[in-house]
């Protein structure tokens, strides 16, 4: 290998090392923050449980046979848990900008020699891990409270499919995280609009087939559609991870992640051009 | 060897044959809503107008200016937080708007607000910030206590949440954060504004110490004339986005045949230093 080639290789390794340490820094910071706000998180968890109960109790009110009631409750529970899981991901990733602007640290983060890809990926990866933990707790607490029986459930498959879907969710989260850069006041709330719209077309509490044709067409490009369908099949019927659910998720992920990064970088450029990274000081 | 010098010497992106900072015709403007011209009308507000200057390696240069004069805009442009509308800026030969990764390795900044995650401690804030610059836990474990001691931060308060610390303490942590990453160009944007006299003197003493012991170039933006005169080799005056001069303080006084910088400001602009404050300044303060 030539001297120039060896130097380039060493430089690439040094950059990769720096990026990995930076990625660890994002996770480290979020762990500190979760520790510091743990009581608030517990309070929010109680709200999420209460909210999920209001949905799952609907199954009790429709007067079905015990077996059908149990199945409906399980399907509603899966929908509510995925709603909560997506909420956490969107909240965390959108907060990439919003929280840092509120604390005043955004300029220090954006002037650090860390690639935006690593920055966003670190934030999204932590959001997925944290969301999975919370979603799991939520699922079992509500299931125990209502008394749902899941004798055939294949939790491993359900968890695995949710993890695969999370890659697409991360990409979509990256797209929405640009919103506070464009609108510092209202951008963060728009992330929740995206979350609600995605779940509305994905059959969060109902089958996709009950929606109008145009909504069913949109459902085909929503990763939540496949996550909900696959997870319901795993939890209710004990189905394994179906390739029919996996390949659309992988295709959506391959498109969503680069698109999310591209949109964020465009938004960052816009903010730097118009002085919107930070509004005071 | 000091942290700063060690890092500077091993950092291949620091070129020795070029000035630390080269700014040529740098221009930045913001657009603001102009209600008088219509509901959706915007007008252009110049924040920097064709600013040109050079800072040599190891120099400390102060840019004086009132609120809204464009000082913070200049610092943000040099730290890759804004994109220029015209002209160019080079830091150790690297284009500040294209070669941003190299620039970010070389530059750090202390601004008027300390800007931290308030619920996290000084050590935690420094720790994660250092990771962004590629410093692993094995390195920060000893460097963070070392640098906090150096800035005079009490050891028993390292684990206390930032929100419980005084403004002066927070500003010391901000200085520690900037130095921890071993910048070869330190951008100080009103670092002592709002501090009590004792904290102000401590921070100024620390800046002198950084200059004396480390291989760092310093650009200090301030509206404190005494501070600029005490710390800088050369002083520039930024007025409504225009750099009126940048030279040693004695040359400034000689040029305008005056005894103080306040008088020089008056001679250069026809206005007293602290009296101006118009609608456009308010806008520039918000966005600049």
pLDDT of res. B3: 47
Question: Is position A74 within any domain?
Answer: yes
Span between the terminal Cα atoms of chain A, in Å: 51
Q: What is the pLDDT of residues A123-157, one digit of tens each?
A: 888 999 999 999 999 999 999 999 999 999 999 99
Q: Do residue A18 and residue B83 have CB atoms under 8 angstroms apart?
A: no
Angle at Cα A264 formed by Cα A260 and Cα A269, nearest 5°? 150
Helix, strand, or coil (residue B107): strand
> Total structural domains in chain A?
1
Q: How far apart are CA B262 and CA A177, in angstroms?
A: 46
pLDDT of res. B8: 42
Contact B230, B205 (CB under 8 A): no
B73 contacts in A (CB within 8 Å)?
A: 275
Domain range enclosing B180: 3-287
* Nearest C-alpha neighbor of A66 from the set A157, A7, A148, A153: A148
Question: Is position A7 within any domain?
Answer: no
CB atoms within 10 A of CB B213: 12
Give percent helix, percent strand, percent coil of chain A, each to the nearest 5.
80, 0, 20
Distances (CA, A) of A88 to A133, A173, A212, B204, B285: 11, 10, 29, 44, 35
Q: Do residue B80 and residue A33 have CB atoms under 8 angstroms apart?
A: no
Domain range enclosing A157: 37-274
- Segment of A7-11, A245-249, B210-214 carrying the highest mean pLDDT: A245-249
User: How many distinct helices (H) and strands (E) make up chain B?
Assistant: 11, 10
Q: Given A28, A115, A273, which is nearest B131 (Cβ)?
A: A28
Measure B261 CA to nearest chain A CA, in Å.
25
Q: Do residue A112 and residue B135 have CB atoms under 8 angstroms apart?
A: no
Q: Given A37, A103, A277, which is nearest B81 (Cβ)?
A: A277
Q: How far apart are CA A180 and CA A116, in angstroms?
A: 16
B129 contacts in A (CB within 8 Å)?
A: 25, 108, 112
Per-residue pLDDT of chain B (288 residues; tens, 9 = 90+): 444 444 444 455 677 788 999 999 999 998 877 777 777 777 888 899 999 999 999 999 999 988 888 999 999 999 999 999 999 999 999 999 999 999 999 999 998 888 899 999 999 999 999 999 999 999 999 999 999 998 889 999 999 999 999 988 998 999 999 989 889 999 999 888 878 888 888 888 888 888 887 778 999 999 888 999 999 999 999 999 999 999 999 999 999 999 888 888 888 887 777 655 544 444 444 443
pLDDT: which is higher, A91 or B125: B125
Indicate the DSSP class of residue B161.
B
Indicate the DSSP class of residue B188.
E
Q: Please enumerate residues of A whose Cβ is less than 8 A from a Cβ of B.
A: 14, 17-18, 21-22, 24-26, 28-29, 32-33, 36-37, 103-105, 107-115, 269, 272-275, 277-281
Measure A79 CA to nearest chain B CA, in Å.
34
Q: Do residue B104 and residue A22 have CB atoms under 8 angstroms apart?
A: no
Q: Do residue A32 and residue B79 have CB atoms under 8 angstroms apart?
A: no
pLDDT of res. A24: 93
- Segment of A1-5, A179-183, A195-199, B282-286 carrying the highest mean pLDDT: A195-199
Residue A80 has pLDDT above 60, yes or no: yes
Question: Is position A4 within any domain?
Answer: no
List the single residue in B with minimal CA-CA distance to A115: B101
Q: Given A28, A115, A281, which is nearest B72 (Cβ)?
A: A281
Q: Given A18, A104, A114, which is nearest B115 (Cβ)?
A: A104
Contact B214, B2 (CB under 8 A): yes
Question: Is position A15 within any domain?
Answer: no
List the single residue in B with minimal CA-CA distance to A20: B134
Question: Is position A6 within any domain?
Answer: no
Backbone angles phi, psi at A272, to 5 degrees: -75, -30
Find the CATH number of the domain harbouring B79. Answer: 3.40.50.300
Q: Do residue B82 and residue A272 have CB atoms under 8 angstroms apart?
A: yes
Question: Is position A30 within any domain?
Answer: no
Question: Is position A1 within any domain?
Answer: no
Contact B176, A107 (CB under 8 A): no
> Total structural domains in chain B?
1
Q: Which residues contact B248 (CB under 8 A, 6 or more apart)?
A: B233, B234, B235
Q: Do residue B31 and residue A274 have CB atoms under 8 angstroms apart?
A: yes
Q: How far apart are CA B188 and CA B118, in angstroms?
A: 21
Contact A33, A100 (CB under 8 A): no
pLDDT of res. A190: 77
Measure A1 CA to nearest chain B CA, in Å.
21
pLDDT of res. B82: 95
* Nearest C-alpha neighbor of A89 from the set A135, A58, A48, A32: A135
Q: Between helices A223-237 and A243-274, what is the axis angle to 10°?
A: 140
* Residue A1 pLDDT level (bands cut at 50, 70, 90): low
Question: Is position A23 within any domain?
Answer: no
Measure B249 CA to nearest chain A CA, in Å.
27
Q: Given A28, A107, A280, which is nearest B286 (Cβ)?
A: A280
């Amino acid at each position: 290998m030539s001297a120039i080639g060896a130097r380039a290789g060493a430089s690439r390794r040094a950059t990769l090392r720096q990026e990995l340490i930076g990625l660890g820094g994002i996770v480290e910071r979020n762990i500190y923050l979760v520790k510091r706000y743990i009581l608030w998180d517990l309070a929010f968890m109680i709200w999420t449980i209460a909210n999920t109960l209001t949905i799952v109790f609907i199954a009790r009110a429709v007067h079905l046979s015990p077996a059908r009631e149990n199945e409906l409750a399980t399907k509603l529970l899966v929908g509510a848990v995925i709603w909560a899981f997506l909420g956490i991901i969107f909240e965390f990733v959108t907060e990439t900008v919003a929280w840092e602007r509120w604390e005043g640290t955004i300029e220090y983060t954006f002037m650090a020699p860390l690639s935006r890809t690593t920055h966003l990926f670190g934030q999204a990866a932590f959001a997925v891990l944290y969301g999975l933990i919370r979603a799991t707790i939520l699922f079992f607490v509500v299931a125990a409270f209502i008394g749902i029986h899941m004798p055939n459930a294949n939790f491993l498959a359900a968890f695995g499919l949710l993890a695969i879907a999370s890659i697409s969710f991360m990409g979509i989260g990256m797209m929405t995280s640009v919103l506070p850069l464009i609108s510092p006041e209202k951008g963060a709330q728009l992330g929740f609009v995206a979350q609600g719209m995605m779940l509305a077309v994905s059959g969060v509490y109902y089958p996709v087939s009950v929606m109008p044709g145009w909504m069913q067409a949109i459902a085909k490009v929503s990763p939540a559609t496949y996550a909900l369908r696959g997870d319901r099949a795993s939890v209710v019927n004990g189905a394994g991870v179906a390739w029919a659910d996996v390949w659309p998720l992988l295709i959506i992920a391959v498109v969503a992640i680069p698109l999310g990064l591209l949109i964020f970088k465009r938004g960052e450029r816009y903010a730097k051009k118009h002085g919107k990274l930070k509004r005071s000081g | 060897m000091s942290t700063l010098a060690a890092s500077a010497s091993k950092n291949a992106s620091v070129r020795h044959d070029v000035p630390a900072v080269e700014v040529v015709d740098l221009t930045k403007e913001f657009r603001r809503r102009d209600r008088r011209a219509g509901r959706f009308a915007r007008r252009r507000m110049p924040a920097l107008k064709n600013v040109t200057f050079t800072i040599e390696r190891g120099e400390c240069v102060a840019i004086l200016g009132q609120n809204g004069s464009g000082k913070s805009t200049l610092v943000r442009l040099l730290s890759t937080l804004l994109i220029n509308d015209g002209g160019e800026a080079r830091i150790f030969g690297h284009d500040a708007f294209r070669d941003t990764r190299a620039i970010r390795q070389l530059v750090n900044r202390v601004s008027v607000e300390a800007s931290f995650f308030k619920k996290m401690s000084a050590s935690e804030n420094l720790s994660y910030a250092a990771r962004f610059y590629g410093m692993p836990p094995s390195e920060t474990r000893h460097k963070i206590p070392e640098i906090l001691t150096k800035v005079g931060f009490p050891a028993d308060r390292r684990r206390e949440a930032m929100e419980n610390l005084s403004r002066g303490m927070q500003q010391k942590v901000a200085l520690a954060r900037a130095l921890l990453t071993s910048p070869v160009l330190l951008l100080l944007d009103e670092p002592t504004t709002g501090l009590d006299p004792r904290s102000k003197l401590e921070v100024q003493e620390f800046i002198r110490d950084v200059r004396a012991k480390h291989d760092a170039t310093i650009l200090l933006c301030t509206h404190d004339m005494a501070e600029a005169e005490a710390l800088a080799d050369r002083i520039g005056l930024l007025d409504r986005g225009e750099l009126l001069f940048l030279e040693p303080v004695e040359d400034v006084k000689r040029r305008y045949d005056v005894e103080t910088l306040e008088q020089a400001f008056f001679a250069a602009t026809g206005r007293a230093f602290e009296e101006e404050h118009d609608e456009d300044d308010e806008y520039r303060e918000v966005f600049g």
